[in-house]
Amino acid sequence: MIRLSSSLPSLIVVLGLLLSGFLLLPSAAQNTTLHGYYRFPTLHGNTVVFTAHGDLWRAELSGEEARPLTTHAGEESHPRISPDGRLVAFNADYEGPLET
């Protein structure tokens, strides 16, 4: 048989620790940097185009924040920048088989 008077302080300590852990979770999540899975980079001058999360992204090598080039529900991959830097060719599976 468990006596309430002897287990009550332990229970209060355990509940306090659990509660403090839950209160810290939101702040810890806000400070977490999301790391991506970056694939198939291609370069032209100071510009890099790559695939992340099934979309194409563009960034400058100077460290500027990457911006999405595509946001289609299908998956894009293997980008290649044209020699003059004006166009990007890539593979995509929008409606069935993979197309370039």
Summarised one tens digit per residue, pLDDT across range 28-87 is 444 445 566 789 999 999 999 999 988 999 999 998 899 999 998 889 999 999 999 999
CA dist list (Å): 88 to 7, 18, 29, 63, 80: 67, 51, 35, 21, 6
What confidence score (pLDDT) does residue 44 get? Answer: 95
Whether 100 is covered by a domain: the verdict is no
- Per the listing, tokens 């291609």 go with 42
Taking the whole predicted model, whether its pTM rises above 0.75 is answered as no
Is residue 50 located within the same domain as residue 69?
yes
Is residue 45 located within the same domain as residue 77?
yes
The tally of domains found in the chain comes to 2
Is residue 45 located within the same domain as residue 59?
yes
> Is the pLDDT score of 20 beyond 80?
no
What confidence score (pLDDT) does residue 99 get? Answer: 86
HSE-CB of 43 using CA atoms within 13 angstroms = 4
Whether 18 is covered by a domain: the verdict is yes
Is residue 67 located within the same domain as residue 43?
yes
What confidence score (pLDDT) does residue 73 get? Answer: 86
Is residue 18 located within the same domain as residue 62?
no
Amino acid at 49: V
Q: Closest by alpha carbon to 40, among 88, 86, 73, 85?
A: 88
What confidence score (pLDDT) does residue 27 get? Answer: 43
Is residue 61 located within the same domain as residue 17?
no
Is residue 52 located within the same domain as residue 74?
yes
Q: Could you tell me the residue range of the domain that residue 78 belongs to?
A: 38-92
Whether 73 is covered by a domain: the verdict is yes
